[in-house]
């Protein structure tokens, strides 16, 4: 399994950047090694956390800040709809141009490769614990982790298990896998309504590509 750290700012108690490791990989021959964290599945099937249990994700925004954000998004939507020349950037690019915040350049660090099955529960559990330890060493008590769909689904099951990782990690899908999941949901809803034939007959995708996208 490969892992990459991105540190955007140093507004924490520790101002030093993430130290670079000299190791190229971490060899784990068996799960009995002391450095390996075994994940034990709970006796009951984990369930998604309720809204009340996600108090750490509550965002309190003042009325004026919310009003300005809504107005800014409305202006962007209008300009985007009326842009016939295609010069209006997307949402992220547009906000990066109009923001007055001084956003520092992100520092990217590559962690050593872990020679273990990436979709194994114990592998994911170990990596999450190590990422939390690195974040805590930087004075950061919560970390955002992006992963592909196979790792994301199992990581969420681990977090649902009401263990010590809760309120320390927020999982999110990578951009490509998020789009793939969105397209697959469209296929589930409208696959039998001629949507697949529409994409194929229009020449946008080949039949095999449509089946893969909407599966």
Is the pLDDT at 206 greater than 60? The verdict is: yes
**55 vs 166: CA distance, rounded Å:** 11
Digit-coded pLDDT (tens) for 61-102: 567 777 888 888 899 999 888 888 888 888 888 888 888 777
Percent of the chain with pLDDT over 90: 5
55 DSSP assignment = G
Write 134-137 long-range contacts (CB < 8 A, 24+).
Answer: 134/5, 134/18, 135/168, 137/14
Determine the pLDDT at residue 14: 45
Determine the pLDDT at residue 24: 52
Average pLDDT, the chain: 77
Determine the pLDDT at residue 32: 43
Residue that wins the pLDDT comparison between 22 and 38? 38
Q: Which among 23-27, 148-152, 179-183, 209-213 has the top mean pLDDT?
A: 148-152
**132 vs 165: CA distance, rounded Å:** 8
Residue that wins the pLDDT comparison between 11 and 169? 169
CA dihedral over 20, 23, 25, 26, signed as positive or negative: negative
Phi-psi region of 139 (alpha: psi -120 to 50; beta: other; left: phi over 0): left
| CA 38 vs CA 8, 34, 114, 125: distances in Å | 31, 10, 15, 7
Is the pLDDT at 15 greater than 80? The verdict is: no
Lowest-confidence segment of 21-30, 84-93, 176-185, 192-201 by average pLDDT: 21-30
Task: Spell 190-213 as b/e; 16+ CB within 10 A means b.
Answer: eeeeeebeebbeeeeeeeeebeeb
Q: Which among 6-10, 39-43, 151-155, 201-205 has the top mean pLDDT?
A: 151-155
The answer to whether 1 touches 126, Cβ cutoff 8 Å, is no
Percent of the chain with pLDDT over 70: 77
Determine the pLDDT at residue 145: 92
Backbone φ, ψ for residue 183 (5° rounding): -65, -40
Give the count of beta carbons closer than 10 Å to the beta carbon of residue 147.
22
Backbone φ, ψ for residue 188 (5° rounding): -65, -35
Digit-coded pLDDT (tens) for 126-144: 889 889 988 888 888 888 9
Digit-coded pLDDT (tens) for 24-68: 555 544 444 445 667 777 777 777 766 544 444 455 556 777 788
């Amino acid at each position: 399994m490969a892992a990459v750290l991105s540190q955007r700012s140093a507004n924490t108690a520790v101002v030093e950047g993430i130290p670079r490791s000299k190791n190229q990989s971490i060899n784990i021959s068996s799960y009995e090694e002391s450095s390996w964290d075994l994940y034990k599945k709970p006796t009951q099937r984990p369930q998604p956390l309720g809204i009340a249990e996600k108090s750490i994700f509550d965002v309190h925004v003042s009325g004026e800040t919310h009003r300005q954000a809504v107005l800014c998004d409305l202006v962007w939507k209008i300009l985007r709809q009326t842009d016939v020349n295609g010069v209006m950037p997307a949402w992220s690019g547009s906000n990066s141009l109009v923001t007055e915040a001084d956003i520092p350049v992100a520092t990217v660090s590559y962690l050593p490769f872990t020679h273990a099955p990436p979709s194994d529960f114990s592998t994911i559990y170990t990596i999450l614990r190590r990422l939390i330890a690195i974040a805590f060493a930087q004075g950061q008590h919560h970390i955002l982790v992006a992963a592909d769909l196979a790792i994301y689904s199992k990581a969420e099951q681990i977090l649902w298990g009401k263990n010590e990782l809760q309120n320390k990690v927020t999982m999110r899908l990578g951009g490509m896998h998020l789009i793939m999941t969105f397209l697959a949901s469209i296929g589930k809803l409208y696959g039998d309504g001629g949507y697949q034939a529409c994409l194929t007959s229009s020449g946008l995708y080949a039949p095999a590509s449509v089946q893969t996208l909407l599966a």
